[in-house]
Structure 1
């Protein structure tokens, strides 16, 4: 059992409210709350991003479901435990429900409404979410594993969306494979650093002894993810710090840097007060991201619209370009944002381009064509920031096009041109000699630019694959 779960389990917490009292002094922080009966037995366990708001809702005179009415009649007291983040709250809630199996947690949910994280016992384990751990052969089959593959489970968790978001965030720190079958070409996730690429080896190679070291690294990532989900945060932090110091002492600076980045990533997760409600959106730290962007680029104008671009082709065939748009959230925004995400994708503004003028594999020239065609549409809103997938060569190519276009349209002079290089996460900015290296400490800016780059890559790949399928059927 994790440290937080032990604390609330052993101490009964530092506050024990009679139900007649109004919980005004309960903090507005993430945490876990427990309703107990007169025998001090837990009858319901829940988690909350805001403890005061959630617990207070049980004291409302109207609007409660019949099952909640029954719970409140049986409950004699409620206590709680403050936690640093909603992630910790979700994990602690799962541990306590598993141990106590409270009466109303069972009555208010059937088996299918709980979620479990399943981890396969393969050479390179896969991770997925399931409702029913005793009947998951179909899920395993979809992932390409054998039906008889052994599986371990962590759970139950109460919110599938939050759990999915946690796994997506953890995958940025500890990459793992989700491909459904082995293949020889690199997968999309391996290209953006979300997958180590083991699934891209054929079966003969994966049986070769040369995979022994990377297999150990991969299993270490899986072990670390399990430690987070089981609430063993303190132990994991101590282990990573110990390994980082050992790597540094042994002058293995590359490994030490990787462990440092993993520690920073974990600290960022556990410091966040909120976890994503929608797994398709990025949750940024609760900060004035617009102001940080203005400071980074030295502009007095508000940043409302960012556009991301990428090219996808195979040796020049079925070549396409993508344009994705991220907009600043408005109070009446129709897009799906979490309550604190300041920028998010506006998919109604996405555009795709079939390359028309470039023959052969020349991504730079293809990118220049896409930019020319994009700014030929004066009816489309101009961006405040352009984000190109690539490094200095891609930025220079787009800059030559923008110079031509700015002579004809002065409004383009205010557009900020950037490019984000993969792996090193170096941000190149037009007019600056050296790139800025974005790290986990960069917070929302790093996540925003990563999301734009990865989304433009995904959108381009999707259109490219569509054209390839059409070409294959035609041929």
Structure 2
């Protein structure tokens, strides 16, 4: 049995811990704060399995990491290596998460029988990355794709957040099928757009088409390989290679590539120095840390928006349409940092004809403000830039707010540039300059309003096509 005195030397940093017996791990876990997490194993009200683990273990070890993401990756590596007894007892396979990577097949060579995996598995022209519970291949309509799997990971939400952050540095496609229209992610630099390059069925292998994409395809494959290696815990090697490539590009006066590599290096360093990562994922009922985190976000928002009063209700707005047809608007609501989905609202544009997002936004906000029975917002976050910010401010100035209600602050968040426009500052604020918790919150509000507007827009288009 482990003596509780061992906790005196436990650090308050992120890392991985191992309960051992006769040199072999019984259980492997991760923590944002090792000292705090390990102390939880010695509480009197601990579960029966935890009490049994502490009694059976003879040694407790830990490995400090630079960040919570690194702890997540290290934990997965150790669980895969040792398959500890209590990791299996406390979870079944369906509770673990794996990253699947579809295998590469040259885009301009048709699949041959030799490229089929066992059981009719096929390789893909452009590898995709997905999260799954069981490493059994990604099922599609007519076949299974041959896949490589990395894992197991214990936290699905932390894993998805890691992939989201890595995708900003090393973009890759996430669309399930090719399609003709350019996807949103390719417009904001999160995707190369290969999912949008549906082949011409009559001439799918034109030489000029092949030549145009060869270099870009190589870069795409490098990005996938970089993400895979990082998930395997090789981020230090990746950073070293990127720095070497940047020096070579600079010597060759390829300054555009050097700048791109510099941004990737900085992004990678930023991700792996992030120390507020695992804390975001808390067990149900754990409200203290959530409240503390929202308090910090709120303070930053008050500072950048010039708001002295309390911020509680944040409303996100977005417009969705194609050339003005079946245009919709959305209002996503967050209260004290959490989505309040019962208060989301959708709007079908009634007064604007043609593609005029600014006029549509004015209509949506105007209609929203006429609902005095809805709680008033403290902040309006608009999906857009300066024109959208000005439009929202103009509507607010004309609105008939009760005297006891203060006008909400307005900000606009541009997708591609990831810049925040505010009433207080003439120049936009780059999200990368804000604390990560605040930047992530603003992006979440923006993305949620976009998702909600797009969903309603698609619903209206389907009704139109069906003739309803």
CA distance in 2, matches of 1:36, 1:190: 47
Paired with 2:54 and 2:306, the residues of 1 have a C-alpha distance of 56
If the length of structure 1 is used for normalisation, what is the TM-score?
0.81
- 2:78 matched residue in structure 1: 96
Contact 1:192–1:454, Cα closer than 8 Å, also in 2:
no
Q: State the match for 1:55 in structure 2.
A: 38
Mapping for residues 369-448 of structure 1, pairs under 5 Å: 369-405=363-399, 414-430=407-423, 432-439=425-432, 442-448=435-441
CA shift in 2, pair 1:353/1:157, >3 Å = same
2:151 aligned residue (155, 159, 174): 155
Report if the CA contact (8 A) 1:84-1:273 is conserved. Answer: no
Matched residue SS, 1:357? coil
> TM-score w.r.t. structure 2 length?
0.82
Matched with 2:160 is 164
Counterparts of 2:95 and 2:435 in 1: how far apart (Å)? 37
Deviations 1:389-429 (A, max 9, x none): 222222233333233226x7667764222222222223222
Unaligned runs of 5+ in 1: 1-17, 329-342
Query: Which of 59, 62, 65 is residue 83 of structure 1 equivalent to?
Result: 65
Looking at structure 2, the residues matched to 472 and 245 of structure 1 have their Cα atoms a distance apart, in angstroms, of: 54
Q: How many residues align?
A: 432
CA distance in structure 2 between the aligned counterparts of 1:345 and 1:195, rounded to whole angstroms: 27
Deviations 1:3-50 (Å, cap 9, x if unpaired)? xxxxxxxxxxxxxxx71343331223322122222x323333222333
Alignment of structure 1 residues 191-340 onto 2, 5 Å = 191-204=187-200, 208-209=209-210, 210-248=212-250, 250=252, 252-270=254-272, 271-275=274-278, 276-277=280-281, 288-328=296-336
Deviation at 1:450, TM superposition (A): 2.2
Q: Which residue does the alignment assign to 1:356?
A: 350
1:312 CA displacement: 1.0
Cα 1:257–1:375 shift into 2, 3 Å: farther
Distance 1:220 1:404, change over 3 A: same
- Matched residues in 1 for 2:72 and 2:396: separation? 48
Aligned Cα root-mean-square deviation (Å)? 3.0
Spell out, residue by residue over 1:347-367, the C-alpha distance to the aligned partner (whole angstroms, 9 max, x if none): 222111111111222222111
Q: CA 1:109–1:288 in 2, change beyond 3 Å: closer, same or farther?
A: closer
